[in-house]
Amino acid sequence: MTKAKFMIALSLSMAAAVPALAANPMVGGAPMYETKTIVENAVNSADHTTLVAAVKAAGLVETLQGPGPFTVFAPTNAAFGMLPDGTVETLLKPENKAMLTKVLTAHVVAGDWTAAKIAQKARMSRDGLANFTTVSGDALSARMKDGMLYVYDESGTVARVTIADVDQSNGVIHVVDHVLVPK
């Protein structure tokens, strides 16, 4: 065997021995890096500019750059756009910072909850729901239905997870199609 053939055979056998790493999904046209924090990745997503502006206005940037782990159900710009007219603008006013913080932290659960872990927790419950208390102290429930993950808030909003399991250095993001509303 020539040296060149040996090197090719060696590199092929080494490649076969190394498991393939699943790449994080793209979000808002941007790559999401598992080595970056929730905030560091979110600022690059064109679909989350409203969420990023809200996180900044609420003073939650430092918190969401912390060690976590956090699970964030991240509403898209389109989800914020479904709120009644003027809601986002009102929430972003400095005098409404406490209300904005409550809304945003109602999207955050302590821990690293992948879709598979959420589905397993739901399967193990009597009612088929995985129940969580958010950082705001509000309740969220989640379940798998027809192969999709859905999140339910206390106000009756049902958000569908459109992109699951976006790994971050300090947790995981699940992109959702509705803003979750605390009571």
Domain boundaries, the chain: 3-176
Share of the chain above pLDDT 90, in %: 70
Question: 64, 59, 138: which is closest to 92 by C-alpha?
Answer: 59
Question: How far, in Å, CA of 3 to CA of 17, rounded?
Answer: 21
| Fold assignment, 3-176 | FAS1 domain (2.30.180)
pTM, full prediction: 0.85
What confidence score (pLDDT) does residue 56 get?
93
pLDDT higher than threshold 90 for residue 32: no
* pLDDT for 33: 86
- Give me the pLDDT at residue 167, please: 92
- Calpha distance 183→175 (Å, rounded): 22
Q: What is the pLDDT of residue 4?
A: 46
Say what the pLDDT of residue 7 is: 39
Q: In sequence order, which ranges of the chain are alpha helices (DSSP H)?
A: 3-17, 38-42, 49-58, 61-64, 77-81, 87-91, 97-105, 115-123
Give the tens place of pLDDT for each residue, 48-101: 999 999 999 999 998 888 888 999 999 999 999 999 999 999 999 999 999 999
Residue 80 confidence (pLDDT): 95
